[in-house]
């Protein structure tokens, strides 16, 4: 989000589901949604999605992380999402939750991205995705389908040569922070290169870190036997009927 160019905004409130959770922002777009024309892009029918899963031995369910926020707002429409808080008036740079046509917009994007998989090895309903396989041996293949193309895109990223390109790299790294183990260590050289007063922005240390990061992103995680003397962590998930654990 950013400072809004207008002083008008939609009412906002914050609520907390429980004491352990942070405050959650809720913006009332009711009147705004009434004024917006309905998007005519159809959502998938639930009954058809359920029928499409029959006959498959394995199903993998996935939920997109902050899915709507992956779509940038059109520049002329950013101010229309403005909301008021005590620190000022702000607006969204990305598509927020709560807009009338957010679901249809996201569904259109998913249909475009997974057009070769939907109806064959995959089903998508807005930000909920399902990968299916009629046989156990086909499931892993279906899960990684399209992955080589994504790896190629990462491998072809050129080393940054300007401050703007380094800033772009650190922004991408920050977006992946949730999914990178020890991300601070992997990206320290990039942030160091942006410090004021440093003449040579991109040095050999940055290049080594950059290549290591690309190698890490393009290498699938492997399950290995523990090394003697290495610290291990046990993660437990306990319910009334089931206990599961992972040793990491």
Q: What is the pTM of this model?
A: 0.54
Tell me the average pLDDT across 45-70. Answer: 81
Tell me the average pLDDT across 110-135. Answer: 86
Interval 186-211: pLDDT, tens: 888 888 888 755 556 788 888 888 88
- Position 85 pLDDT exceeds 70: yes
Q: Please, which residues bridge with residue 85 across strands?
A: 88
Q: Please, which residues bridge with residue 88 across strands?
A: 85
Q: Please, which residues bridge with residue 125 across strands?
A: 128
Q: Where is pLDDT greater, at 109 or 47?
A: 109
* Lowest mean per-residue pLDDT among 28-32, 103-107, 239-243: 239-243
- Position 42 pLDDT exceeds 70: yes
Interval 101-120: pLDDT, tens: 988 898 998 888 888 888 88
Beta carbons within 8 Å of 143's beta carbon, 6+ residues apart: 60, 131
Q: Tell me, what's the pLDDT at 88? A: 87
Q: Tell me, what's the pLDDT at 225? A: 62
Tell me the average pLDDT across 215-219. Answer: 76
Instruction: Please provide the distance, in angstroms rounded to a whole number, between the alpha carbons at the two ends of the chain.
Output: 36
Q: Are 128 and 50 in contact (CB under 8 A)?
A: no
Written as six digits, the tokens of 199 are 């003449």
Q: Where is pLDDT greater, at 5 or 150?
A: 5
Q: Can you tell me the distance from the alpha carbon of 128 to that of 124, in angstroms, rounded to the nearest whole number? A: 6
Q: Taking the alpha carbons of 175, 178, 183, 184 in that order, is the dihedral positive or negative?
A: positive
Tell me the average pLDDT across 39-49. Answer: 81
Q: Can you tell me the distance from the alpha carbon of 10 to that of 90, in angstroms, rounded to the nearest whole number? A: 10
3-state secondary structure 181-227: CCHHHHHHHHHHHCCCCCCCCCCHHHHHHHHHHHHHHCCCCCCCCCC
Q: Where is pLDDT greater, at 109 or 179?
A: 109
């Amino acid at each position: 989000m950013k400072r809004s160019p207008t002083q008008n905004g939609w009412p906002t409130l914050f609520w907390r589901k429980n004491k352990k959770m942070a405050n959650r922002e809720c913006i009332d777009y009711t009147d705004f949604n009434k004024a917006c024309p309905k998007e005519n892009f159809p959502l998938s029918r639930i009954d058809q999605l359920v029928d499409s899963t029959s006959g498959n031995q394995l199903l993998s369910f996935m939920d997109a992380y902050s899915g709507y926020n992956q779509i940038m707002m059109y520049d002329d429409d950013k101010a229309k999402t403005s909301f008021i808080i005590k620190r000022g008036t702000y607006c969204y740079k990305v598509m927020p939750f709560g807009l009338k046509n957010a679901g249809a917009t996201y569904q259109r994007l998913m249909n475009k991205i997974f057009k070769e998989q939907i109806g064959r090895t995959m089903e998508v309903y807005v930000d909920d995705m399902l990968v299916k396989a009629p046989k156990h041996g086909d499931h892993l293949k279906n899960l990684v389908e399209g992955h080589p193309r994504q790896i190629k895109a990462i491998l072809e990223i050129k080393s940054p040569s300007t401050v703007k390109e380094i800033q772009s790299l650190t922004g991408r790294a920050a977006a992946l922070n949730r999914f990178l183990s020890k991300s601070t260590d992997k990206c320290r050289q990039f942030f160091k290169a942006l410090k004021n007063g440093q003449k040579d922005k991109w040095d050999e240390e940055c290049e080594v870190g950059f290549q290591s990061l690309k190698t890490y992103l393009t290498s699938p995680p492997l399950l290995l036997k523990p090394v003697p003397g290495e610290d291990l962590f046990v993660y437990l998930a306990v319910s009334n009927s089931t206990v599961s654990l992972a040793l990491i």
